[in-house]
Structure 1
């Protein structure tokens, strides 16, 4: 069962609608469906809200530590609430998928994603779930950092929103522990 859903992104207006903020953006759409409002919690270095999904109470977290230090906030929340890595779902952008493609997995490496790298370091484990939201890759010769920190085209934005819409119905089953069934459907 999932007790904490973390959306990865960077704080600040200049990053709000960038590809790298897919995790933040997804949690905002999720919260709009389930109700509640973000509260900044200094001791956790992030915005936190408690909500109920599929009749289960859980926390949603948007770290305010910038992407590369996301593990600081995740680690603090996990320790304070005694949440195990396998009870965490991290929502993040994924370069290896076309824009809007969404897949679920458990464990694995960080694949060069600095937010995941920091979470693994702070939890001392990679045994958490990941909802990977495709943002596509930049054209050959383009700098990856510039690409992820830029706003998607209108067409890619529509694909991202479509991916959010595709993933949201599976959050209830994921939260309630039906991760294998959700994984089988999302990943095909």
Structure 2
């Protein structure tokens, strides 16, 4: 499905593009990792240093590179920028690249989206011992949508797995 689009691109472009997209998504996931447990919005409000509160500039928000150039510290106050942010950005890039082989089957984007959701949940669990019901529900719903969109739910195991995922989603969102 996506193979013709990728095959017309010069070698390496899908790889680099997926890594860059993944790092950008990973940067957003890093913000979510910090903001969600404290009840802050993940879509509104500018990114700022946790130490001095200074709003970050565009240059300071470049995934991976800004962390490396600044040696993991705020340019204004010198406060450490946790390694969690870098882990999110690198993890996001890794998921983007690892999903590319699925492009032949038209599943690369679906794999990226599911992988990024899993990354956020894994890091929330590792760092805060917290798995928000809503995010777990969204993951289950996303998996269901991918399964139905691909019409791969034809065997008994697929039907049972889909039914269980649907039940978990209902329990997570409504329980």
TM range (shorter): 0.3 to 0.5
Q: Structure 2 length as normaliser, TM-score?
A: 0.36
| The structure with more strand, counted as a fraction of residues | 1
| The structure with more helix, counted as a fraction of residues | 2
Larger Rg: 2
Q: Structure 1 length as normaliser, TM-score?
A: 0.34
